[in-house]
């Protein structure tokens, strides 16, 4: 018998049929791999009913493949996965997606793709064939390649002439997604290759120091990542990182902060919201626009706040002039400057950069500045378990995943949750940081004097709002 294959196949068929019905009801088609990516054609995936079905379908498809496939092959395909990463990085560096866009749907021979570069066409062709076999690019004829839906995301939209004339400005004026990808494939990828060494070395095995991460071994530096990219010789990396953070905002739009159901409108007039580590204040801008009754304090490093002043001076100078928004230089490892206790303290994608000992220090400083009615909001990924769990913290309202995975799927839907686990390992390799489960958040909250009381989930986003109150 092969009942498990039949069960998984039924999940796939049922999900596909329901998605087909949803598409027909909306008069649209489900996007195909061979079509170029456009936000408009992706709209069907954002429909809540379709989004949940595609998650179940993808989880079942991967599980049926791995159930049917040879275990040794699966293991070694996983072990060899880093070659795919190298091929993607090379294709990006050679500007393949842009060359293929200029060539059109008939594609381009590798000999023509590499014209004007030092790249060997035969070597590039081998990398391209690997990527095409992973459905990234298409091989339309021997050694002739074209873009598909996935590879078209690698296109900056710029001309080859411009890219080759100004390579240092490759990502300027783009969404930042490609800069984020290149950061991942450069220093983070190299850091991950030394993760095993740092985990087995007695000096670094149990260290949570930002200067004893795998990145330090890979980059041969005793500096933490932030100091490392600030150095003059890393000017390109720093510029790319700045654009990459814009890409992170594309993946996690600021507007999500008002879409989770958190009762922002219930705060009384002139309630103070502290945006700690808030960068230039893009999230606070959204809050100011939607909830003008709030007073907002944006805190970050002094040099970042100088950029924030320029940005607010252009985008909304009135908010600064009227005192509705305050920009304050401050290091969150230091005690908070004296002020009346705020209504809410918010940290958005800050704690994942830091190991527990650092995160607890940050939260303890904020606890010292809190009043009895102050609330804490941590906006981060919430990493699910890969098993069924009966953890007491899952009784916190909103903590338990709403979607129940049908048998025999993994409770976390496997590949659907993969991005979170990959991000977690990336934080570990680069900073000794951590994405966290609900239990891990509960632990650092408690040690810093906070009680975890609620979780708000944003539809179609992996960002969650984890709420604490003073103990």
pLDDT digits (tens, 9 = 90+) for 12-41: 999 999 999 999 999 999 999 998 898 888
pLDDT score recorded for residue 271: 98
Is 422 inside a domain boundary? no
- Out of 121, 140, 169, pick the residue that ends a domain: 169
The residue from 132, 153, 169 where one domain ends is 169
Considering 256, 282, 330, 352, which one is annotated as catalytic? 352
174/156 Cα distance (integer angstroms): 6
* Same structural domain, 262 and 348: yes
Q: Taking 80 as the threshold, does the pLDDT of residue 73 lie above it? A: yes
CA distances from residue 225 to 235, 359, 365 in whole angstroms, order as listed: 13, 17, 23
Q: Which range marks the domain in which residue 320 is found?
A: 252-417+430-470
Per the structure block, which two tokens stand in for 395? 């009784």
- Please tell me the predicted confidence (pLDDT) of residue 303: 87
64, two tokens = 């049926």
Residues 12 and 58 in one domain: yes
Mean pLDDT of the region 78-91: 96
Establish if 424 belongs to a structural domain. Answer: no
Provide the pLDDT for residue 391. 77
Residues 300-341: tens digit of each pLDDT: 999 899 989 999 999 999 999 999 999 999 999 999 999 999
User: How confident is the model over 219-229, as a mean pLDDT?
Assistant: 94
* Whether residue 262 is found in the same domain as residue 340: yes
- pLDDT for 460 beyond 70: no
| Average pLDDT of the chain to the nearest whole number | 94
What is the mean predicted confidence (pLDDT) over 119-142? 98
% the chain with pLDDT above 70: 100
Are 302 and 359 found together in one domain?
yes
Pick the closest to residue 315 from 364, 307, 29, 7 (CA basis): 307
Q: Identify the band that residue 135 occupies on the pLDDT scale cut at 50, 70 and 90.
A: very high
Q: Report whether pLDDT(175) > 80.
A: yes
What are the φ/ψ torsions at residue 213 (nearest 5 degrees)?
A: -90, 170
Residues 300 and 388 in one domain: yes
295, part of any domain: yes
- Whether residue 193 is found in the same domain as residue 164: no
**Banded pLDDT at 1 (limits 50, 70, 90):** confident
First to last CA, the chain: 56
The answer to whether position 313 is within a domain reads yes
Burial of 16 (0-12, 13-18, 19+ CB in 10 A): middle
Q: Which of 49-58, 175-184, 321-330, 457-466 is the least confident region? A: 457-466
Model confidence at 436: pLDDT above 80: yes
128 in a structural domain: yes
The predicted model gives 444-467 an average pLDDT of: 92
Whether the per-residue pLDDT at 415 is higher than 70: the answer is yes
The answer on pLDDT for 53 being more than 70 is: yes
354 shares a domain with 242: no
What pLDDT, on the 0 to 100 scale, is given for residue 423?
95
The verdict on 275 and 129 lying in the same domain is no
Our measurement of the distance from residue 451's CA atom to the centroid of its chain's CA atoms, rounded to an integer in Å, reads: 26
pLDDT tens sequence across 393-413: 788 999 888 778 999 999 999
Residue finishing a domain among 23, 42, 75:
75
Question: What is the domain count for the chain?
Answer: 4
- Per the rule left: phi > 0, alpha: psi between -120 and 50, beta: everything else, 318 is alpha
Q: Tell how far CA 45 is from the center of its chain.
A: 18
pLDDT of residue 400: 87
For the ranges 46-60, 123-137, 243-257, 395-409, the lowest mean pLDDT is seen at 243-257
| One domain, residues 460 and 364 | yes
Whether residue 138 sits in one domain with residue 89: yes
Give the domain CATH number at 276.
Answer: 3.40.50.150
Distance CA 113, CA 94 (A): 8
452 and 337 within one domain? yes
CATH number at residue 104: 1.10.10.10
One domain, residues 454 and 337: yes
pLDDT of residue 390: 82
Residue 268 contacts residue 293 (beta carbons within 8 Å): yes
Q: Is residue 425 part of a domain?
A: no
> 3-state secondary structure string, 356-401?
HHHHHHHHHHHHHCCCCCCEEEEEECECCCCCCCCCHHHHCCCCCC
What tens digit of pLDDT does each residue of 237-285 get?
Answer: 988 988 888 788 777 788 889 988 999 999 999 999 999 999 999 999 9
Any idea of the CA torsion for 123, 126, 128, 133, to the nearest 10 degrees? -170
Q: What stretch of H or E contains 465?
A: strand 464-470
What gap in Å lies between CA 284 and CA 273, rounded to an integer?
Answer: 9
Instruction: Collapse the DSSP code of 281 into the 3-class scheme (helix H, G, I; strand E, B; otherwise coil) and give the result.
Output: coil
- Provide the pLDDT for residue 243: 87
353 occurs within a structural domain: yes
Residue 193 and residue 100 in contact, taking contact as beta carbons nearer than 8 Å: no
Asked if residue 362 lies in contact with residue 335, where contact means CB atoms within 8 angstroms, the answer is: no
Residue reference for tokens 């002094």:
302
pLDDT of residue 329: 97
398 inside domain = yes
164 cis-preceded (ω within 30 degrees of 0): no
Query: Is 352 marked active-site?
Result: yes
Residue 252: what pLDDT? 78
pLDDT of residue 426: 96
């Amino acid at each position: 018998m092969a009942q498990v294959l039949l069960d998984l196949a039924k999940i796939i068929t049922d999900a596909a049929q329901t998605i087909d019905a949803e598409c027909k009801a909306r008069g649209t088609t489900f996007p195909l791999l061979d079509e170029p990516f456009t936000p408009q054609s992706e709209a069907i995936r954002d429909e809540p009913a379709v989004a949940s079905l595609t998650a179940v379908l993808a989880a079942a498809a991967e599980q049926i493949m791995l159930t049917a496939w040879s275990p040794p092959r699966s293991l070694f395909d996983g072990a060899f996965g880093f070659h795919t990463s190298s091929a993607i990085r090379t294709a990006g560096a050679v500007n393949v997606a842009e060359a293929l866009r200029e060539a059109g749907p008939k594609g381009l021979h590798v000999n023509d793709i590499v014209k004007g570069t030092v790249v060997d066409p035969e070597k590039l062709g081998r990398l391209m064939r690997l990527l095409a076999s992973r459905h990234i690019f298409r091989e339309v004829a021997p050694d002739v390649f074209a873009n598909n839906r996935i590879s078209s995301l690698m296109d900056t939209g710029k001309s080859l002439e411009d890219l080759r004339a100004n390579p240092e400005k490759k990502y300027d004026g783009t969404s930042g997604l490609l800069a984020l990808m290149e950061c991942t494939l450069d220093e983070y990828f190299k850091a991950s290759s030394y993760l095993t060494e740092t985990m087995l070395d007695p000096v670094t095995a149990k260290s949570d120091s930002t200067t004893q991460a795998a990145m330090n071994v890979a980059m041969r530096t005793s500096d933490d990542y932030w100091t490392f990219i600030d150095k003059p010789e890393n000017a390109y990396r720093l510029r790319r990182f700045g654009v990459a953070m814009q890409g992170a905002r594309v993946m996690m739009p600021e507007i999500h902060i008002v879409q989770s159901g958190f009762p922002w409108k219930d705060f009384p007039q002139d309630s103070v919201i502290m945006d700690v580590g808030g960068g230039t204040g893009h999230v606070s801008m959204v809050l100011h626009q939607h909830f003008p009754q709030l007073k907002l304090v944006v805190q970050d490093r002094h040099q970042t706040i100088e950029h924030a002043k320029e940005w607010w001076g252009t985008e909304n100078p009135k908010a600064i002039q009227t005192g509705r928004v305050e920009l304050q230089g401050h290091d969150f490892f230091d005690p908070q400057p004296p002020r009346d206790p705020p209504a809410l303290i918010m940290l958005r994608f800050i704690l994942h950069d830091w190991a527990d000992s650092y995160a607890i220090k940050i939260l303890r400083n904020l606890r010292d500045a809190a009043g009895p009615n102050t609330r804490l909001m941590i906006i981060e990924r919430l990493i699910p378990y890969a098993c069924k769990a009966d953890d007491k913290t899952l009784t916190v309202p909103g903590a338990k995943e709403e979607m129940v995975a049908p048998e025999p799927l993994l409770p976390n839907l496997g590949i659907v949750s993969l991005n979170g686990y990959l991000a977690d390992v990336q934080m570990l390799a680069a900073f000794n940081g951590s994405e966290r489960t609900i239990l891990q958040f509960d632990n650092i909250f408690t040690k810093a004097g906070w009680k975890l009381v609620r979780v708000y989930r944003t539809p179609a986003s992996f960002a969650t709002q984890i709420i604490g109150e003073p103990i």
